[in-house]
Amino acid sequence: PTQQITFFDAVKSTLAKPLFTAHLKKGAPGSYDFGYIDTSKYTGSITYADVDTSNGLWEFAATGYAVGSGRTVTTSYDSIADTGTSLLYLPTEIVAAYYGQVNGAMYDGSQGGYTIPCDSNLPNFVAIIGGSRHTVPGSYINYAPISETSCFGGIQANDGIGHSIFGDVFLKSQFVVFDGSDSPRVGFAKQA
């Protein structure tokens, strides 16, 4: 089968640098930049993780996590960065550890995932990527209302997917660099 050529693949050779960035926002318009990194869009440094492109994805290894102010758990989980996925899909045990810290959180089979009381004060989620901590504010994890009191969680289990997906719930908390150079990598920094 022929592999789909993406827009980025088609324009990459014409760009100043073979990369694009995603600066997505919660509740506000975001932006993409092609060929350059706008340093006004992030603070601190960009942490990079090597990407395995053999499956045609921006695939990298996350190496741990923490819930709220809890201890950092070291565990490696194969992941992809995907702006076309809304949620943050993680291994079942990480999802259970997260919602174990949320009063009233429950797995609801009829909703296909974890639900939370809409008025929950959710803990932050921290992913360890490239040796650095990348934090999703708890408020980003209250994804959508189901009823007046029940909301759908923005972190869900990756059962049957084959890898974790760092979708928009995570990406809206980061400035993201998709570097398509000969040594492909994905970079994350704190949004400015």
The pair phi, psi for residue 71, each rounded to 5°, is -70, 155
Inter-residue contact 24 to 158 (CB < 8 Å): no
Those residues with Cβ within 8 angstroms of residue 84's Cβ, 6 or more apart along the chain or in another chain: 167
CA-CA distance, 56 to 67, in Å (whole number)? 31
Whether the predicted model's global pTM rises above the 0.75 cut = yes
Taking the chain (192 residues) in runs of 10, the rounded mean pLDDT of each run is 80 96 96 98 97 94 97 97 97 97 96 97 97 97 96 96 96 98 97 94
pLDDT at 125: 98
Question: Using CA atoms, how far apart are residues 74 and 76, in angstroms rounded to an integer?
Answer: 7
Q: What is the pLDDT of residue 5?
A: 84
**Nearest Cα residue to 117 out of 108, 129, 127:** 108
Rounded to the nearest 5 percent, the helix, strand and coil shares of the chain are 15, 45, 40
The number of C-alpha atoms within 13 Å of 63 and in the hemisphere containing its C-beta is 8
Residues β-bridged to residue 186: 49, 178
How far is it, in rounded angstroms, from Cα 161 to Cα 93? 15
Contact in structure between 122 and 143 (CB atoms under 8 Å): no
Which pLDDT score is estimated for 189? 97
Q: Which residues contact 52 (CB under 8 A, 6 or more apart)?
A: 59, 60
pLDDT reported for residue 51? 97
The kind and range of the H/E element at 89 are strand 88-90
